[in-house]
Amino acid sequence: MEMNTFSFIADLAGSELRGPDGTFSGRLLADSRLVRKGDVFVAFRGENTDGHAFIHDAIAHGASLIICENDRDIPSSVPSVKVSDTYKALPAMAEKRLALQGKKLHVIAITGSVGKTTTRDYLVRCLKTSFRVHSAEHSYNTLIGCSMTILSLPEDAEVLVLEMGTNHPGEIAEMVRFFPPTISVITEVAPAHLEGFGSVEGVLEAKMEIAESPSLTSFFFNGDNPLLARAASRIPAGIARLSAGTGECDYRILSPDFSIEKGVPELSFSLAIPGDVIAVRARAFGKHAAYPLAFAVGISTFLGVPGKTAAAALEEAHSLEGRGLIRTLDSGACLIDDSYNANPASMSAVLRAAGEIRKHRKFAVVGEMLELGERGDDFHINLLPLLRSFDTVWLVGKTWERLAPFAGHEEADLVLWTGSLRMLGEHLVKVLAEGDTIVIKGSHGNRLDRLVEILCGEGSS
């Protein structure tokens, strides 16, 4: 049976296909707004939103198949698969689908406090030079997200790249039980989601769940992190343990150099791999971006991709939207968009990299770092010395309001912003000029991505 037919999906669910059989384009989506012709729409019942209310929208956008709990109002001409609980059905279906692929498939799972999505993107670029690779289009890093990625797996795929995120213990372990990786990667362990983990050691323990796969053959990790290095040393000897970093690592980053010319970033470094040294160059933001690039080249060469081939695939690679993507505004100012999320490690790296840029004037909009527990205020205070490199910094969020005034940091021009993002955007449009640089960074809860849209002329609120 072909593995992208509606009847095959119904068999995985242990259900009957209602409506005509056919094939889907390969994407499973839970957001009807993203559905395009040929996609599969999956209706979930959430706490605030019921996906079943958007089934007709998905059909109007071209959904070829609906997976749902209630098919009563679906036209008979539209294929559908009914399950009792979508949240429970999807992982079970994906587990069956993955098992059918057999041992011919490399399953790579990536986690980390920072850099996992960027590492996944760069790794896919490298692997596609030599393998048929399948990966999520979006940050599908939950059990459901991984399930939808696997259910769209092409039958001829040779490598599957998954991203596994977590904000509480046991979450990655559950994903690993359903979808055991053959290669696991931890990009970094740092303070993040401390409300769920309690400490960095708790974060480490949760991330190390990715190494509990019974199918694991190789484990890649950030060798510059002592906590990770010690944890990696306890992995069974039969599993290859491979490090990437600037220290004495298996894949060693040498002499990283970063610059921005005419709004175009360039990061270059040499990567010492077993038996060779590879020149790596990409349009990525900041020296810290060398880590995901090193993981991408390292894992690829480990799987047999020639080092120069892997490096060449990264020459046009750039930072992702909300993760260091650089844009040139109408004013001629350079905008560094790192608005997707923030924790102390990523915030420090981005502010340090932006602060080192040699430009006429440098500005920053700094939001909060959320979910850091009782030490949250301390982590914010620790950022203040990094803000001295900027001409003006606008601080956004309740945490900054609570911490103000910022005694001892008077030499930094800090503006506590309590107005709307629209008003801030309008103010910045008047302030920014050609030759200026502005970095925008904060947790997703601050929605600084909306400020980016305003500055880029893509939004008005």
**What does the pLDDT look like over 24-35, one tens digit per residue?**
877 899 999 999
- In this structure, are strands 264-273 and 251-261 parallel, antiparallel, or unpaired? antiparallel
Q: Are residues 282 and 345 located together in one domain of the fold? A: no
In a domain, 319, yes or no: no
pLDDT bin (cut points 50, 70, 90) of residue 461 is: very low
State residue 459's pLDDT score: 47
**Joined tokens for residue 354:** 């932006």
Q: Could you tell me the pLDDT band of residue 12, with boundaries at 50, 70 and 90?
A: very high
Residue 50 domain-assigned (yes or no)? yes
- Distance separating alpha carbons of residues 351 and 387, to the nearest angstrom: 7
Distance CA 295, CA 120 (A): 9
Q: What is the pLDDT of residues 387-438, one digit of tens each?
A: 999 999 999 999 999 988 876 666 678 999 999 999 999 999 999 999 999 9
Say what the pLDDT of residue 267 is: 96
Residue where a domain stops, chosen among 66, 84, 102: 84
Q: CATH number, domain at 130?
A: 3.40.1190.10
Same domain for 98 and 70?
no
8-14: average pLDDT: 96
pLDDT of 408 = 66
Q: pLDDT by residue (tens digit) across 292-332?
A: 999 999 999 999 999 999 999 999 898 888 899 999 999 99
Which tens digits make up the pLDDT trace of 179-221? 999 999 999 998 777 677 778 899 899 999 999 999 999 999 9
Residues 354 and 419 reside in one and the same domain: yes
Determine the average pLDDT of the residues in 232-247: 95
Among candidate residues 279, 312, 345, the one where a domain is terminated: 312
- In the annotated binding site for ATP, the residues are 112-118
CATH number, domain containing residue 374: 3.90.190.20
Q: Would you state the pLDDT for residue 360?
A: 81
pTM over 0.95: no
Predicted pLDDT of residue 460: 39
For residues 188 and 276, state if they share a domain.
yes
Please state, rounded to an integer, the average pLDDT across all residues of the chain: 92
| Per-residue pLDDT at 411 | 64
Per-residue pLDDT, averaged over 244-263, amounts to 94
Q: Is 168 inside any structural domain?
A: yes
User: Would you list which residues are annotated within the binding site?
Assistant: 112-118
Residues 377, 239: one domain? no
User: Is residue 320 in a domain?
Assistant: no
Q: What is the mean pLDDT of residues 9-15?
A: 96
Q: Are residues 160 and 262 in the same domain?
A: yes
Which pLDDT does position 410 carry in this prediction? 63
96 and 67 co-located in one domain: no
Q: Does residue 79 sit in the same domain as residue 94?
A: no
Q: What digits encode the pLDDT tens for the residues 43-76? A: 999 888 999 999 999 999 999 999 999 999 899 9
Note the pLDDT of residue 407.
67
Are 191 and 282 part of one and the same domain?
A: yes
The verdict on 177 and 268 lying in the same domain is yes
> pLDDT grade, residue 1 (50/70/90)?
low
Same domain, residue pair 236 and 130: yes
Q: What's the CA gap between 388 and 394, in Å, rounded?
A: 12
Instruction: Tell me which of 84, 114, 132 is where a domain ends.
Output: 84
Q: Is residue 461 situated within a structural domain?
A: no
Average the pLDDT over each of 114-118, 167-171, 270-274, 409-413 and give the range with the smallest value: 409-413
Residue 1: inside a domain? no
- pLDDT tens, 370-383? 988 888 899 999 99
- Could you tell me what percent of the chain has a pLDDT over 70? 97
Q: What is the mean pLDDT of residues 233-246?
A: 95
CATH code where residue 10 lies: 3.40.1390.10
451 closest CA partner among 417, 419, 424, 432: 424
Q: Is the pLDDT of residue 359 over 60?
A: yes
pLDDT band of 235, cuts 50, 70, 90: very high
In which domain, by residue range, is 195 found?
A: 90-312
Residue 72 lies in a domain: yes
- Is 399 a domain residue? yes
The predicted model gives 337-361 an average pLDDT of 90
pLDDT value, residue 257: 95
Q: How many structural domains are present in the chain?
A: 3
Kindly state the average pLDDT of the residues 77-106: 95
Query: How many angstroms separate the CA atoms of 95 and 289, rounded?
Result: 33
At residue 408, what is the residue type?
G
- Same-domain check for residues 398 and 300: no
